[in-house]
Amino acid sequence: IKSRFLWMFAWFFIGYHIKVADFCHFISYFRIKFRSLEDVMMKGIIAVLGLAAILILPVFGCSKDEDSGSIFSIKTGGNTAEENVQETETQPAVQPVTQYVKTWGVWFYQNEQDIGKPSKDVSEKQYMDFGSKVSTLEKKDINGKTYSKVMLPDRSEYWVEAKTLVDKFIVITQKDVLCYKQPDTDYADTIMLQPGDLGLFSREMDGWINADFLAYRPVEPGGEIKRVGNKWIKDGYTEDLSTAKEAYYLSLAYYYLYSKEKDVNKAIERLEKAASINVTGDTEITYVINDLLAGLTGENEEPTEREGDVEIILPVQDDGE
């Protein structure tokens, strides 16, 4: 019995250790497998989260542009990048534009708050004559009128009503320049412009010039004299500023010779002004002024080329009041 008991104990002891070893081996194997499974699962979770981030973040992190339908418009300062680019293209910085005073004279006001006041009530101002050159910086509607902010050559800035400025002048320098109603040779008019006739530039198209001519000419040879007004011309003109200044005072002299307010003395004054305004030499129309002035001061006879009293509109004079 004792021997049998010892053999049973021995077999139990050996079997126990074998089972324990097997169990430990199983546990170790399971832990290894579990660790591999854990790694696989963690990698899978990371992959799933990464894919979700790629798919979901653009939806919540970016805003869809309603106009273009794009979801890649990045918000910057309240506007999308696309909107910012569009604003830059449609609202470019204003570039200074060279213009000239087209009236007898006009007051420039330095302070915007003085606009609309009589010139006598404004201290910071400057009077500018016909032909004075400025750089127009911007335009602004004030009290129902459009005003231009301009800069003089000394870089001082003023405000003036926009309608007193023009881009350039057109002066006829050749005889019998034909006018046109449209920028096409099939629209020829019967009016012939003459040297010294002044026009205020309006626009240009395909080599044609459109201008508002202050001249008064017969509708047809020997016919009724009327204001030429807005016409198209192709050639026979200059844009020279010195010539334009002479032409302006020549137009005033014609007014005092041929309007109902006929005044030969005032006409002579305007011609003398025209003859002396340029100190750099004669222009292409100086001879017209000298011939007319000589006729008035020498023989005191009015030219017969434009006989008859006609109602002529005096080019705008503005004393700033």
In sequence order, the β-bridge partners of residue 208 are: 205
CATH class of 97-166: mainly beta
In sequence order, the β-bridge partners of residue 121 are: none
In this prediction, residue 215 carries a pLDDT of 86
In this prediction, residue 37 carries a pLDDT of 54
In this prediction, residue 115 carries a pLDDT of 96
Q: Which residue has the tokens 């990045």?
A: 74
Neighbours of 157 (CB within 10 A): 14
Q: pLDDT tens-digit profile of 198-232?
A: 999 999 999 999 999 998 888 888 888 788 999 99
In this prediction, residue 125 carries a pLDDT of 97
Instruction: Give the span between the Cα atoms of 85 and 281, in whole angstroms.
Output: 52
Q: Domain locations in the chain?
A: 2-89, 97-166, 169-298
Q: Which residues of the chain have pLDDT under 70?
A: 1-94, 299-321
From the CA atom positions of the chain, what is the Rg in Å?
Answer: 45
The separation between the first and the last C-alpha atoms of the chain, rounded to the nearest angstrom, is 145
Instruction: Give the span between the Cα atoms of 28 and 12, in whole angstroms.
Output: 24
Burial class of residue 202 (count of CB atoms within 10 Å of its CB; 0-12, 13-18, 19+): middle
In this prediction, residue 64 carries a pLDDT of 45
H or E element that contains 83: helix 81-90
In this prediction, residue 108 carries a pLDDT of 98
Maximum separation of any 2 CA atoms in the chain, in Å: 174
- The identity of residue 181, as a single letter, is K
Instruction: Give the span between the Cα atoms of 200 and 239, in whole angstroms.
Output: 10
User: In this structure, are residues 172 and 191 in contact, taking their beta carbons and an 8 Å threshold?
Assistant: no
